[in-house]
Amino acid sequence: MTHCVEGELTPQSPAKTSCGEVAPCCDRNEGHSSPRATQGERRLACGAEHGTGCEEDLFFVSTKRRRFLGMEQLAKDLFEIGAVKFGTFKLKSGITSPFYVDLRVAVSYPRVLRSIAALYLECLQDFSSAFDVICGVPYTALPFATAMAVQGDLPMVMCRKEVKDHGTRRVVEGAFTQGSRCLIIEDVVTSGSSILEVVGALRAEGLKVDHAIVLLDREQGGCEALLGQGIGLRSVFRISNLVGTLRNLNLLEPGKVDMILDFICTARAASDVKRPETNVPSALPVAASSSSPVRDQLYSIAEKKRSILCVAADVQSTKELLGIADAVGPHICVLKLHADIIQDWTTDTSRRLRELADKHSFMLFEDRKFADIGNTVVAQFSAGVHRISSWADIVNAHAIPGPGLIEGLRHACAISGRMIGLLLVAQMSSNGNLIDERYTATCLRMAREAFPFCIGFIAQERLDPTGKLFVMAPGVQLDSKGDQLGQQYNSPEYLLKRKGVDFLIVGRGIYGSEEPAKAAQMYKELSWSVLHG
């Protein structure tokens, strides 16, 4: 997962649909006209933060649909021209791979080149950062960047691979100034090293580089490696969704798909092994970088505030919610809420909550427990009254619908242009719940595959021995063993020491007490001292 800062919406480039017609150029900045960005202030337009009416949802749906159709057609084209092949291939590294990608051939097919450029341009909508120029990574991405520059009217620079020993000896060709912001265009990312090479050269020449777009992410750790160097990566395709699209088009047999997905998982696990782990059991919190900005932010807040406490503010009015948030704010690292039980929820509720989160430095966790198909959760996450993706830092979901749900949430998160982390509900605190060990183990596998978008679990015990995927445990109270409706409570000591969980969620034990601020302070200090002696 990659993220970008929030920002204003700006005009988008016209994009070709799969049928070849030019889709209308939409502008949500002012709601009506579609002025083009000036050369000096080009922006990567982003998602659903602005506007309010249903025309925005229609915009959102048609944009999504257009992109989906474009991706489907391009997947088919890439397969047909042999840019993506399936079989048995020996890679440079010596590994045998069930697929092979060589996008160089695309230059011989003008229609494919146009579709590639159109999809890169569509991808710009996932960002909100400004940029001045684009730069293709030599050589394969050079024609792609050029097509994009022509189609999207974007200025471009070129970074030389070899510097000539005569003439100007320039490393970066084209018009730019010190501090020009550059967006990198790449064809395929594996480890991220080619992009980093170009980033280094551009930065050395005084350009600012924060983002890259790739046509295909092979999902082998490149995205995380780039994030570690301050480069947010967007991809048109990830290899798993390219493979999924081809399967849906009956171009790949299900047996082959499974083999390819297994290969991707194994390759990703191998790249994980090489990455230093940031956590060890029972040594919390640790703030070292984990390649997940949301996780890192949480750990950094926890460390600074000496708090692993999340308060569940299950109240029913904006006034109560804001009151609790302000009272317990100094003692918590996360405030969890159920937006759908707030009777008078408006956009003002989320705005004021965010203000309190900034004032006291805590994260906002919407306990939505998404549990539907991917297409539905995209809308549940970003649209409707609550517009969760516009304000939440953390959300949770049941794993039962399968990976499509995570994919949908990740997609909606990208569109929002905000950093949001996902927790899978891998175990529940309620008596008689239907989750068994096999289900929990599957959640662990799914979460690993979805890291760094998925950052952990709602569970009752440590699940990932490395601690990279952390556990927030609900069902915590000192004065009660449970309620009349099946909730079961354990003590902080039991969950932290015996079960190895990382964060505690306390609801009624705090907001139901006479003095929530005092109760929060007590739970905070107690849980911290259990961990740190």
List active site positions: 369
Alpha carbon distance 368, 412 (integer Å) = 15
Contact between 458 and ligand 6AU by CB under 6 A: the answer reads yes
What one-letter code names the amino acid at 444? L
Nearer to ligand 6AU, 79 or 365 (CB): 365
CB of 487 to ligand 6AU, least distance (A): 5
Question: For ligand 6AU, which stretch binds (CB under 6 A), given 64-72, 317-325, 440-448, 505-513?
Answer: 505-513
Q: Which of 78, 286, 505, 520 is in the footprint of ligand 6AU by CB under 6 A?
A: 505
CB of 491 to ligand 6AU, least distance (A): 13
Strand 208-217 versus strand 181-189 pairing type: parallel
For residue 458, the cross-strand partners are 425, 472
Contact between 474 and ligand 6AU by CB under 6 A: the answer reads yes
Alpha carbon distance 52, 46 (integer Å) = 15
| Residue 445 parent element (H or E) | helix 437-450
Contact between 508 and ligand 6AU by CB under 6 A: the answer reads yes
Contact between 506 and ligand 6AU by CB under 6 A: the answer reads yes
**3-class SS of residue 487:** strand
Distances, alpha carbon 500 to alpha carbons 206, 251, 331, 439, 457, in Å:
47, 46, 21, 20, 13
Contact between 421 and ligand 6AU by CB under 6 A: the answer reads no
Query: Which residue, 152, 115, 144, 116, is CA-closest to 20?
Result: 115
Alpha carbon distance 245, 251 (integer Å) = 9
Contact between 325 and ligand 6AU by CB under 6 A: the answer reads no
Residue-wise over 51-77: b if at least 16 C-beta within 10 A, else e? Answer: beeeebeebbeebbebbeebbebbbeb
Alpha carbon distance 83, 402 (integer Å) = 29
Question: Which two tokens mark 387?
Answer: 């517009």
Strand 172-173 versus strand 156-159 pairing type: antiparallel
CB of 472 to ligand 6AU, least distance (A): 7
Contact between 349 and ligand 6AU by CB under 6 A: the answer reads no
What one-letter code names the amino acid at 334? V
Q: Which of 70, 222, 417, 507 is in the footprint of ligand 6AU by CB under 6 A?
A: 507
Nearer to ligand 6AU, 314 or 502 (CB): 314
Question: For ligand 6AU, which stretch binds (CB under 6 A), given 75-83, 323-331, 506-514, 525-533?
Answer: 506-514
Question: For ligand 6AU, which stretch binds (CB under 6 A), given 5-13, 59-67, 242-250, 425-433?
Answer: 425-433
In Å, the largest CA–CA distance within the chain is 83
CB of 334 to ligand 6AU, least distance (A): 10
Of residues 290-319, those binding ligand 6AU (CB under 6 A): 312, 314
Q: Which of 475, 501, 520, 523 is in the footprint of ligand 6AU by CB under 6 A?
A: 475
Q: Which of 239, 298, 363, 428 is in the footprint of ligand 6AU by CB under 6 A?
A: 428
Q: Which residues bind ligand 6AU (CB under 6 A)?
A: 312, 314, 367, 369, 396, 425, 428-430, 458, 474-475, 487, 505-509
